[in-house]
Amino acid sequence: MSLRANNIFGGRPALSFNDLPIDQSDAFTSQRSDIQLETTKYLADRTLSNNAFDVIVVGGGVAGLSTAMQLAMRGTRVLVLEREKIGNGSTGRAAGLLGQLRGTVEHTRMLMEGLKVVHRLEQEADLKIFVQTGSLRIAETPARAEEIRSLVRMGKSIDFQIDHISREEVASKLPYMKTDDLVDACYCPTDGHLQPAELVQAYMKVGRSNGVVYRSDCPVQGIALGDPGPHTVSTHDGEYQAPVLVNSTGPWSYGVAGLVGATLPTAALGNYYLTTHPDPDHPVDTMSPAIRDRHHRIYSRPENGGLIVGMYEAEPVEYNTETLPVDFDMSAMKPARDDFNVALLIHSAQQRFRWINERTPMSITTGIMTFTPDGKPFCGTMPDAAGLFHCAGFCGHGIVQSPAIGLIMSQLILDGESSFDIAAIEADRFFDLDGYSDRSEIKKRCYDMYASYYGSTEGTSGTNKN
C-alpha cells in the first residue's frame, strides 16, 4: 500500500470545507440534549425521493456519521440508517477524551490528522468541539515510569508535543489529585477532549449540507447482498438499495455482519464513569488536564466544574446485543445503587482523588463499548461479504478516532485505498486465522483485551494486573 502524503481530502476532493454552502435556516446551537434529539429527528424525517443510494451507512454513531459526511463531501449520495436515535448509542455515553499518543507511530499520526479535521469542522459548523485541556499520564511504579519514558521517546520522534514533568508541576496543574506517590509523569499540551454532542451535530450539519439523508428509529431487519450489486437493506419502512454498505453499528456490529452470514470479531462490553457535581470544597478547573492512571485503571477529565472518572476494570460486564430489544435505549441504562462495578469505580477513583467516595454527589454513566481481540477497529471489507465495509470496534475510542476514520473509510470506498497507513486496522486481518470465526473464542479474546487495556503495560508483552 503506497503511503501518499497525508492530504486530508485524499487528493481529489469534490468540495473542500471552504466551499460548503451552509444553509442558514438550519443554523442552530444546542444546549440541551432534548432539543438536540428533536432537531436530529427533524433532520432525519426528510421525505425521500427514491430509495436508491450510492452508499447506505448502517449505524448513526460518530463512526457512521463521519464516514457519511466525508463521502457526501465528495459527491456521494448517502443514506444513514439508525436503529434508535442518532448519536444515542455508545457515542452518547462517551467521555470523549482525545489522547493522540497511541501505541504506534501510525496510529498516533492518524489521530494527529484527525484533530486537523476537527479544527476545520469547528470552523465550518461554527461549533466548539475540541477543548484543549492537555493531558497527563502518571506513573507510580518503575514499570509505568518505563512506559512513560518510551512514550515520550516515541512522541518526540514524530514531533508530537510531549515531555516529562515533575511531581510538583503535576500537583500544581491538578491540586485535587493525590500526587505524592508519583515517580514520573508526562504532559501532552495538544490533547484534550471532544464534546460528543457537538461533534455529532457538526457531522450532521456538514453532512446534511452535502445531501446526506438520515433516518432514525429505523432498524435494519435484513440485508441481501446482490451478486452483482446493488445490495438491498430492508427496514419496516421499506427497502433501500446501494452498491456499497457500511456497517458502523458498534455493539450491534457482529449481529449486522451475521445478517449476511459474515463474522465480525467484535464484542459488546460495558463501561462506567462517574461525573461529580461541582463542589466549592473541591473546585475543578474546567481546563484541568485529562489524566490517565493505568495503574488504577482510571481516566479522568474535568466536566462543568466537576470531574469525570472512568475505568477499564479487570472484569467487564458482557452484553449480547442480539438479545436486547431492537429499540434498546442506551441512554436509559442505569446501575443499581449497589452495583459492584460502580463501587469498584468509586474505590479506584478514590485512590487518586481522595475526596471522592460513595457519598459524593455525582451521576453514574454506563454504556456499551465495542471491543476487538487486538484493541483496534475493523475498517474495510472482508472476503466473505464484498461491498460490505465494516467500520466498528473502537474499544472506547470511537469519538477520538472518528474524524480520521471517516476520511479513511471514504478513501477506501471511493478510491480503493487510503493515504493513511491502515495495515493495523484492516478488517480482514484475522480472516483466515484460527479461532476468529468462533463466537465464543471471539468473545473471550475481546474480554481479555478489555481486561488488559489499562492493566497491561503498553509496549511490553504480558499483563500487569497490579
Partner 1 sequence: MRILVPCKRVPDADQRIPILSDGSEIDRSNLSYLVNPFDAIAVEEALRIREVTGDVEVIAVSVGPLECEKELRTCMAMGADRGILVDFHAPLDPWNVASALVEIVKRELPDLVLMGKQAVDDDANQTGQFLAARLGWPQATFASQIDFNGQSVQVARETDAGIETVTVQLPAVVTADLRLNEPRYASLPSIMKARKKPIETLAFEDLGVSVEPRVEVIKVEAATSNRKCVIVPSTEELIRRLRDEAKVL
Q: Which residues lie near partner 1 (CB under 8 A)?
A: 24-26, 28, 35, 38-39, 41-42, 325, 327, 329, 332, 334, 336-340, 342-344, 346-347, 357-359, 361, 364
Smallest distance from the beta carbon of 43 to partner 1, in angstroms? 9
**Least distance between partner 1 and beta carbon 426 (Å):** 37
Strand pairing class (231-235; 55-58): unpaired
DSSP calls for 68-123: HHHHHHTT--EEEE-SSSTT-SHHHH---EE----SSHHHHHHHHHHHHHHHHHHH
Minimum distance from residue 32 beta carbon to partner 1 (Å): 12
Q: Which is nearer to partner 1, 168 or 338 (CB)?
A: 338
The enclosing H or E element of 66 equals helix 62-73
Report the residue number, 280 or 325, with the smaller CB distance to partner 1.
Answer: 325
Q: How far is the CB of 85 from partner 1 (least distance, A)?
A: 11
Contact 272, 94 (CB under 8 A): no
Rounded Cα distance between 298 and 455, Å, is 10
Of the two residues 172 and 304, which places its CB atom closer to partner 1 in the complex? 304
Q: What's the min distance (Å) between Cβ of 318 and partner 1?
A: 17
Q: Which residue lies nearer to partner 1 by CB, 18 or 24?
A: 24
What is the Cα Rg of the chain in Å? Answer: 21
Between CA 283 and CA 60 the distance in angstroms is: 36
Kindly state the smallest distance separating residue 51's Cβ from partner 1, in Å. 26
d(CA 444, CA 315): 12
For partner 1, give the closer residue by CB, 106 or 339. Answer: 339
DSSP state of 64: H
State the Cα–Cα distance between residues 302 and 95, nearest whole angstrom: 10
**Angle formed by the axes of helices 196-209 and 62-73, nearest 10°:** 30
CA angle 394, 395, 396 (to 5 degrees): 95
Least spacing, CB of residue 311 vs partner 1, in Å: 13
Residue with cell 464484498: 386
Quick one: 41 or 77, whose CB is closer to partner 1?
A: 41
Query: What is the distance between the alpha carbons of residues 58 and 149, in angstroms, rounded to a whole number?
Result: 41
From the CB of 342, what's the least distance to partner 1, in Å?
Answer: 6
List the grid coordinates of 440. Answer: 465464543
Distance CA 45, CA 391 (A): 25
Please say which residue, 247 or 366, places its beta carbon nearer to partner 1.
366
- Say how far apart CA 328 and CA 307 lie, in whole Å: 28
Choice between 25 and 31, CB closer to partner 1: 25
CB of 60 to partner 1, least distance (A): 18
User: 2 or 323: whose CB is closer to partner 1?
Assistant: 323
